[in-house]
């Protein structure tokens, strides 16, 4: 069975390009599962974990939202941001998460814009931490 051609790109770079067997993406209306011969689709993505499989290897990316298009066994993910687990500095992500929590705790009542920004930053860092930890645990089990 032919696989899916997957391309994950941001405004700055191509993060991944290659054949995959399946893909799970964080759609704004729920998780999207994509297999070969999927019907054409365009969907908005929210910040979350993008996971894809090749043979028995799973790859995880932390993405910051964007769009996904599926057509003719090809999937293009145009992400606002995307990082492979091995690119994530876990200590820095944890520090950024704490800064976001502090901003949330110290915000002025009625300052909705600051609240939304701090909440979005907290969610991004939680995703980055989850992706980095998941891959590190998988590596520990293998090695």
**Mean pLDDT (whole number) for 99-124:** 85
pTM for the structure as a whole: 0.85
Domain ranges of the chain: 4-85, 89-142
Determine how β-strand 22-27 pairs with β-strand 30-34.
antiparallel
Which one is predicted more confidently, 11 or 140? Answer: 11
Residue 136 pLDDT: 73
Helix (H) or strand (E) holding 54: strand 41-54
Nearest to 121 by CA among 64, 50, 62: 64
CATH placement of domain 4-85: 2.60.15.10
Q: Characterize 46-79 residue by residue with b for buried, 16 or more Cβ atoms within 10 angstroms of its Cβ, and e for exposed.
A: bbbbbbbeeeeeebbbbbbbbebebeebebbbbb
Please check whether residue 57 is in contact with residue 127, taking contact to mean a CB–CB distance below 8 angstroms.
no
Residue 141 reports pLDDT greater than 90: no
Residue 110 pLDDT: 78
Residue 117 pLDDT: 85
Q: Mean of the per-residue pLDDT values for the chain? A: 90
Structure token pair of residue 76: 């293009």
Structure token pair of residue 128: 């980055």
pLDDT tens digit sequence for 45-73: 999 999 999 988 889 999 999 999 999 99
Nearest to 23 by CA among 2, 45, 44, 4: 4
């Amino acid at each position: 069975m032919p696989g899916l051609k997957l391309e994950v790109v941001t405004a700055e770079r191509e993060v991944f390009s290659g054949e995959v067997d399946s893909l799970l993406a964080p759609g704004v209306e729920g998780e999207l599962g994509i297999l070969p011969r999927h019907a054409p689709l365009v969907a908005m993505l929210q910040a979350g974990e993008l996971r894809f499989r090749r043979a028995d290897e799973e790859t995880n990316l932390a993405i910051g939202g964007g769009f996904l298009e599926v057509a003719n066994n090809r999937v293009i993910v145009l992400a606002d941001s995307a990082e492979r687990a091995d690119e994530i500095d876990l200590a820095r992500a944890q520090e950024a998460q704490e800064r976001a929590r502090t901003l949330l705790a110290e915000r002025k009542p009625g300052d909705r814009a600051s609240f939304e920004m701090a909440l979005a930053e907290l969610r991004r860092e939680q995703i980055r931490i989850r992706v980095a930890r998941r891959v590190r645990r998988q590596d520990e089990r293998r090695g």
